Amino acid sequence: QSVLTQPPSVSGAPGQRVTISCTGSSSNIGAGYDVHWYKQLPGTAPKLLIYGNNNRPSGVPDRFSGPKSGTSASLAITGLQAEDEADYYCQSYDSSLRGVVFGGGTRLTVL
Amino acid sequence: QVTLKESGPALVKPTQTLTLTCTFSGFSLSTNGVRVSWIRQPPGKALEWLARIDWDDDKFYSTSLKTRVTISKDASKNQVVFTMTNMDPVDTATYYCARMQGYGDRQYYFDYWGQGTLVTVSS
């Protein structure tokens, strides 16, 4: 059971907009700890996609954004492309556990 | 260019101790603010943070595993060593090392990851 809750799967057609939710609690996201997002292709290591809630590392297109509100955050992907098909993980810090925590991951399928 | 690479046994027996080494380049663990973590991912499951070591040799462990894990560094060799005792089949996973960025009050994320090494626990 992951500390941060994500939907197991989402899907969308090419060109559409999809969102992936990440729900936490008062000891992590709700306590003001930022949310970061990673993209993982099958058989490869996770790759940083969004850091500090809504900042993109160099090379990540602006189709990806990460609003945060209260005890939740979302990853929004616009203009869906086939290459976006992957697993996505959210991550934050938890003050009760005194460590980094991850979501359970969401598999994005591009129809 | 920042790179990290994990090395260690692919197979360990139950009750044995696992030792993994992360060899990195492109940064120094002697530099103020640099941190390296270990993270694992069982097959088909989610990521789990395990341990972290800082430039000043501060160490932090997952509360659920802290009695079994140890992290250490050899900054001169650009290496971080991770050990986990009393291995069990449920510890079968891909183990990653990653550079950890920190800012503000306990805000952390991982900007570079190793390719991972699959460790299977089986007799």
Q: How far apart are CA A35 and CA A51, in angstroms?
A: 7
* pLDDT tier, A1 (very low <50, low <70, confident <90, very high otherwise): confident
* Contact (CB, 8 A) for A81 and A14: yes
Is any Cβ of chain B less than 8 angstroms from the Cβ of A38? Answer: yes
Q: Is B55 on the interface with A (CB under 8 A)?
A: no
- Write the pLDDT tens digit of every residue in A42-97: 999 999 999 998 999 999 999 999 988 899 999 999 999 999 999 999 999 999 99
* Chain A contact for B108 (CB, 8 A cutoff): yes
Confirm if B49 and B42 have CB atoms less than 8 A apart.
Answer: no
Q: Do A100 and B37 touch (CB under 8 A)?
A: yes
B-chain CB neighbours of A103 within 8 Å are 46
Residue B104's pLDDT is what?
87
Check CB contact of B106 with chain A, cutoff 8 Å.
yes
Beta strand B69-74 with B79-84 is antiparallel
